[in-house]
A and B are shown apart, each in its own frame.
Chain A
Amino acid sequence: MDFFLHLVAMIRTLFFVFALAFIAACRRDVPIPDDIPDEDTGVVFNLDQVPYPKLSDYKFFTGALKNLNPNERVLPYEPITPLFSDYAHKSRFVWMMKDSSAQYVSDHSLFDFPDGTVFIKNFYYDNVVPSGERKILETRLLYKKEGEWKFADYIWNQDQSEAVYETNGSYVPVQWIDDQGDNQSLTFRIPSEVECFTCHKSNGNKIPIAPKPQNLDKDFSYPDGVKNQLVKWQEVGYLTGNVPGTIARVADWTDDTQPLETRVRSYLDINCGFCHSDGGHCNYRPIRLEFFKTLDPAMLGVCEIPQQFITPQLTHVIARSNIARSVMHFRMSSTDPQYMMPLLGRSVVHQEAVDLLGQYILSLTPICN
């Protein structure tokens, strides 16, 4: 019995070693894609030549560009709880080179993505004044080359026919009618490369933020039917190897059937956790707002004394039962650059999220010392 198990283990190990060697050899030997469109999809993506000057150069989309109609193997996806970006809508896609795939690392870690992975994220508003139509502002690409992630941002023109490569930030005034029929207006910030890096950063390296099992383990409505995103990724070959059947996933922060605390922790993870993490921009403050860490109330800041003095009234990061004493609530409610959190990516208050946090704070007892 024992001998048999050992044998199996040995064979498994050997197979694994061979497989690794094979993969390594394959990767080394993979010819660099030439300019000829990928035979399967028509996407054009030459790692030696990107970023291309125009968004259309990639052929990520078919038909009129503004329809964002994905080419084959350009797969739409959506995180369970998204980052708030001044109420902009987003449509997101992922694409990988032929015969390459990502591997599972852990529920809360980024997948181990292969070189040539591209995330395509379009920012737009609907019911824009005066046309009442959709207006796409920018398309952000995040792609992996030689093991490192790169940014490329494309700014859409007025007639929505093209988007051009730009590394400098800019401002776009936007006016739209929201879902309640109310007029809204703000100045949308298209970030410069250094701003992108401020959030997409871990230990000095550029990183994606959302594509982790905990954020993607949900159903998505594909053209051919509803399916769990992780299952879909496996089906199309974007995800190979072992993926656990059960993922410790975040909640949809708007889902009021979920526990209040889970919703708050989920919101904080995607909106704050990238900075408030060991390798993040705000690593020198003791709170840690990643979902897998906030089960510990201290990591969430509950009854923790803030390191940065603002006013004597703000005594704790989160003061149980007391919104007026909670720094986190104050900072999320502020648009003053020196106080607001997150520091970047919003110019208005995400009032619905602030309300949720307020509800959560009021639910906590006993009061902090």
Chain B
Amino acid sequence: MQKRILLSIMTLFSAMHLYAQQSCATAIPAVLGTTTASTSFGTTPPAPAHCMVLNGSESFLWYTFTPAVDTNVRVSTVTSTNTGLDTRISVFSGTCGALSCIAYGDDESAFLSIATFAATAGTTYYIVFDTYWGNMPIDFTISYVSTGGGGGPIPQLITFTTQGIPNGDNSRCVMDMNGDHIDDIVYTSGNTLRVHYQTAPATFTSTTHTISGTVTNAPSWSIAGGDMDNNGYNDLIYGGGSGASIIMANSTGTAYTHYSGGQYIFSQRTNVVDINNDGIADAFVCHDIDANVFYISNGSGGFTWNQGGLGANGGNYGSVWIDYDNDCDMDLYIAKCGSDPIDQLHRNNGDGTYTSVGVAAGLNDATENWSSTWADFDNDGDMDVFMGASSNWGGLSHKLYRNNGNGTFTNITAGSGFDLYYSNLGIENYPGDFNNDGWVDVYGLGGLIMFNDGDMTFTASTSPVAGAAVGDLNQDGALDLVAGTTIYKNNLTSNNYIVVSTVGVQSNKNGIGARVTVQTASGSQIRDVRSGQAFSSMQTLNAHFGIGQETAIEKITICWPSGVVDVINNPAINSHLVVVEGSTVSVQEELSQNLQVFPNPATSHLSISGLPANRVFALEIFDVTGKLISTQQVSENVTVDVQSLVPGIYVARISGEASQLNVKFIKE
């Protein structure tokens, strides 16, 4: 009722002012990009017929659009300003009085609309919005979209400046190699490891290292890196066609030694991650034709071979370690392809065991993919996932899943923008904020950057090269690309950023697995520190955040794999912040060193001892899906009743004024 009155008032208002958008004859031209919609509407429907059913009381808003090239045109009301509205779009060709409907959109994303149509250069099309469902859009966008496979033109929304890699070397490995947390470029060939150290922005000093021992595998399928012996210098893992090689840096980062277990592995994606959470990073290798393998590091250059338990059979292509359930430990997602294409999610139980939960999570997806892209695309505090298809086999293609925050995911591909590029296939898909607007984009689909519009819709841009490694090669806070023999420097200057490097103390040295949260007035953003994303390349280990036009960061919180939580208040923007684990907490070290939670497993009671005296802490208990079960206040040497908990794995979070600690326990 209220709506109807409002509508009547608006209609009355518009009737008093004759604007140009009220009829076919007075439609005004719209252009590419976003147009603020007029609020003056007409009541004459398109003739001879409208695209969709009418109830006779609609208002209409008329625009024209004349593309400059032969292409597909997308008209969309899916914008953040229209959230909550219910719109419709119709598109016509022809002339006024002799219009024919060629496309329409209704409910493509929630109750908003997208209409896509094939257009001829120089031809004028009529775009009509109506109020059948009650609302006109506040604004709308017009864009060119590709039909894929080299089809229609896609704009390039950001530009890059190229620079050759010194020595004409080729590379797909970008990470810090000399412990200064600034991205370097790594070239490998047989026993040669040449590092192009970034000694000043976009300035490189090259050093050729000869790896001792015989390097038996080349990184032909993938390369990943991280510090696997906590000596402050990053090591490498090469994923070869018939085995994996690990290249260990010495304690000064000046010499390298080869290690290989000698096992046959048809390697695919490799990752460096602390699989057994002992504070030392390990190496994981996806196996194309057998169960996945992992090498557990002993922290001094030795490794223990393991196979099984983290993805069986074969068809394992793209492993990525991410924290999907916000418990500050790394879970494993495997993008699968070929004869056994059902993807898998392995939840880290925090006690060295993993449980396969892909089916329960709704992520047992059959899309043929070689990599998956994890990021909090909607900035709601948990990791969502984009699965970029490598093939349309079985009629499947890209999928975008929203994390529901309770251990399950919902497919929201329709209307996301990815559905317009089902034929743009690729094996490399990487998450990064390439325009620093505070929303994580997807670099993939065979060389597109899908810019995140902030409302779970994405707009395509071309990029100069597909499948590149990603990092910051000129220290300007914008993500750059490295592929072949070329550095592609992102020309972006418009937005603010912060780069965070994590240095583990109790946790592994790189802080791989740490959850970094940046809070600004606009809200919070999260990143996991990860090694080995997309399919083949190694990307920066730094957590990179664009913050758009925000001029201040309220705080940065880092939850480390050890359970330690650091909080940095008001860090400078447009800076590179290096955070050492535990460096910001006062009572934190007391908490982590003396605190005991027992018995574990617990049956009826859980005792907490070692809390600092004369202080009050909050105790929150979460289940494995991250759901808060109970909250209470605790102090020194307390026993809490856990009889009512259903048997399973829980996290006890103990929080003080500026510190926080997570402890996992099992309820029997």
Docked pose: A305 CA to B242 CA in angstroms = 29
Pair A198/B149 contact, Cβ less than 8 Å: no
Q: For residue B427, which residues in chain A have a CB less than 8 angstroms away from its CB?
A: 308-309
Closest beta carbon of chain B to A191's beta carbon, Å: 9
Docked pose: A194 CA to B150 CA in angstroms = 37
Q: For residue A337, which residues in chain B have a CB less than 8 angstroms away from its CB?
A: 218, 220-221, 240-242
- Interface size of A as a range: 20 to 34
Q: What residue in chain A is nearest B240 (Cβ atoms)?
A: A337
Not counting A169-B264, A192-B264, a sample of 5 additional A-B residue pairs whose C-beta atoms are within 8 angstroms of each other reads A195-B264, A280-B339, A283-B338, A286-B393, A307-B392
Closest 6 A/B residue pairs (Cβ): A337-B241, A284-B393, A337-B220, A284-B391, A284-B368, A194-B290
Pair B289/A195 contact, Cβ less than 8 Å: yes
Q: What residue in chain A is nearest B446 (Cβ atoms)?
A: A309
Pair A284/B446 contact, Cβ less than 8 Å: no
Docked pose: A249 CA to B44 CA in angstroms = 69
The answer, among B289, B391, B447, for a CB contact under 8 Å with A194, is: B289
Pair B393/A309 contact, Cβ less than 8 Å: no
- Please list 12 pairs of residues, one from A and one from B, whose beta carbons are closer than 8 Å in the complex, sorted by A's number: A189-B242, A192-B264, A194-B289, A195-B264, A197-B289, A280-B339, A281-B338, A284-B368, A309-B427, A309-B467, A337-B242, A338-B220
Pair A307/B221 contact, Cβ less than 8 Å: no
Q: What residue in chain B is nearest A304 (Cβ atoms)?
A: B149
Interface residue ranges of B217-247 to A (CB < 8 Å): 218, 220-221, 240-242
Closest beta carbon of chain B to A221's beta carbon, Å: 37
Docked pose: A169 CA to B289 CA in angstroms = 13
Closest beta carbon of chain A to B238's beta carbon, Å: 11
* Residue of B221, B242, B289, B314 with highest tally of chain A CB at under 10 A: B289
B59 within 8 A of A: no
Q: For residue B289, which residues in chain A have a CB less than 8 angstroms away from its CB?
A: 194-195, 197-198
Closest beta carbon of chain A to B144's beta carbon, Å: 20
Per-position binary interface string of chain A over residues 187-220, scored 1 when its CB falls under 8 Å from any chain B CB and 0 otherwise: 0010010110110010010000000000000000
Closest beta carbon of chain B to A276's beta carbon, Å: 12
Docked pose: A280 CA to B315 CA in angstroms = 12
Per-position binary interface string of chain B over residues 145-165, scored 1 when its CB falls under 8 Å from any chain A CB and 0 otherwise: 000011000000000000000
Per-position binary interface string of chain B over residues 339-369, scored 1 when its CB falls under 8 Å from any chain A CB and 0 otherwise: 1010000000000000000000000000010
B337 within 8 A of A: yes
Q: What residue in chain A is nearest B148 (Cβ atoms)?
A: A305
Docked pose: A338 CA to B242 CA in angstroms = 11
B516 within 8 A of A: no
Closest beta carbon of chain B to A255's beta carbon, Å: 33
Known: A194-B314, A309-B426. A284 touches B341 (CB 8 A): yes
Q: For residue A198, which residues in chain B have a CB less than 8 angstroms away from its CB?
A: 266, 288-289, 314
Per-position binary interface string of chain A over residues 21-54, scored 1 when its CB falls under 8 Å from any chain B CB and 0 otherwise: 0000000000000000000000000000000000
Interface residue ranges of B388-402 to A (CB < 8 Å): 390-394
Q: For residue B341, which residues in chain A have a CB less than 8 angstroms away from its CB?
A: 284
Pair A285/B241 contact, Cβ less than 8 Å: no
Q: For residue A343, which residues in chain B have a CB less than 8 angstroms away from its CB?
A: 241, 266
Closest beta carbon of chain A to B528's beta carbon, Å: 26
Pair A284/B390 contact, Cβ less than 8 Å: yes
Pair B447/A309 contact, Cβ less than 8 Å: yes
A336 within 8 A of B: yes
B536 within 8 A of A: yes
Q: For residue A168, which residues in chain B have a CB less than 8 angstroms away from its CB?
A: 264
Pair A204/B264 contact, Cβ less than 8 Å: no
Pair A284/B337 contact, Cβ less than 8 Å: yes
A174 within 8 A of B: no
A-B contact number at CB 8 A: 67
Per-position binary interface string of chain A over residues 107-135, scored 1 when its CB falls under 8 Å from any chain B CB and 0 otherwise: 00000000000000000000000000000
Chain B residues near A (Cβ < 8 Å) = 149-150, 218, 220-221, 240-242, 264, 266, 288-290, 314, 337-339, 341, 368, 390-394, 425-427, 446-447, 466-467, 536
Docked pose: A334 CA to B618 CA in angstroms = 61
* Residue of B149, B391, B392, B466 with highest tally of chain A CB at under 10 A: B391
Docked pose: A343 CA to B289 CA in angstroms = 12
Closest beta carbon of chain B to A13's beta carbon, Å: 39
Q: What residue in chain B is nearest A308 (Cβ atoms)?
A: B427
Q: For residue A308, which residues in chain B have a CB less than 8 angstroms away from its CB?
A: 390, 425-427
A282 within 8 A of B: yes
Known: A283-B393, A285-B391, A338-B241. A307 touches B425 (CB 8 A): yes
Closest beta carbon of chain B to A80's beta carbon, Å: 28
Pair B220/A336 contact, Cβ less than 8 Å: yes
Closest beta carbon of chain A to B546's beta carbon, Å: 27
Docked pose: A247 CA to B501 CA in angstroms = 67
Docked pose: A338 CA to B427 CA in angstroms = 12
Q: For residue A305, which residues in chain B have a CB less than 8 angstroms away from its CB?
A: 149-150
Interface residue ranges of A296-336 to B (CB < 8 Å): 305, 307-309, 336
Pair B390/A307 contact, Cβ less than 8 Å: yes
Q: For residue A284, which residues in chain B have a CB less than 8 angstroms away from its CB?
A: 337-338, 341, 368, 390-391, 393-394
Docked pose: A143 CA to B426 CA in angstroms = 39
* Residue of A168, A201, A284 with highest tally of chain B CB at under 10 A: A284
Docked pose: A169 CA to B446 CA in angstroms = 35
Closest beta carbon of chain A to B395's beta carbon, Å: 12
Pair B220/A285 contact, Cβ less than 8 Å: no
Closest beta carbon of chain B to A186's beta carbon, Å: 14
Q: What residue in chain A is nearest B315 (Cβ atoms)?
A: A281
Docked pose: A285 CA to B391 CA in angstroms = 6
Q: For residue B220, which residues in chain A have a CB less than 8 angstroms away from its CB?
A: 336-338
Known: A284-B391, A309-B426, A309-B446. A338 touches B536 (CB 8 A): yes
* Residue of A197, A280, A305, A307 with highest tally of chain B CB at under 10 A: A307
Per-position binary interface string of chain A over residues 136-166, scored 1 when its CB falls under 8 Å from any chain B CB and 0 otherwise: 0000000000000000000000000000000
Q: What residue in chain B is nearest A280 (Cβ atoms)?
A: B339
Docked pose: A347 CA to B457 CA in angstroms = 46
Pair B391/A307 contact, Cβ less than 8 Å: yes
Docked pose: A120 CA to B150 CA in angstroms = 48
Q: What residue in chain B is nearest A168 (Cβ atoms)?
A: B264
Pair A282/B338 contact, Cβ less than 8 Å: yes
* Residue of B220, B221, B392 with highest tally of chain A CB at under 10 A: B220
Docked pose: A116 CA to B220 CA in angstroms = 41
Docked pose: A197 CA to B314 CA in angstroms = 11
Closest beta carbon of chain B to A298's beta carbon, Å: 14
Interface residue ranges of A264-291 to B (CB < 8 Å): 280-286
Docked pose: A216 CA to B85 CA in angstroms = 69
Pair B339/A281 contact, Cβ less than 8 Å: yes
Closest beta carbon of chain B to A296's beta carbon, Å: 17
Q: For residue B394, which residues in chain A have a CB less than 8 angstroms away from its CB?
A: 284
Q: For residue B393, which residues in chain A have a CB less than 8 angstroms away from its CB?
A: 283-286
Closest beta carbon of chain A to B619's beta carbon, Å: 49
Known: A281-B339, A284-B390. A338 touches B446 (CB 8 A): no
Docked pose: A12 CA to B657 CA in angstroms = 91
Docked pose: A351 CA to B165 CA in angstroms = 33
Q: What residue in chain B is nearest A315 (Cβ atoms)?
A: B150
Interface residue ranges of A167-183 to B (CB < 8 Å): 168-169
Docked pose: A198 CA to B241 CA in angstroms = 14
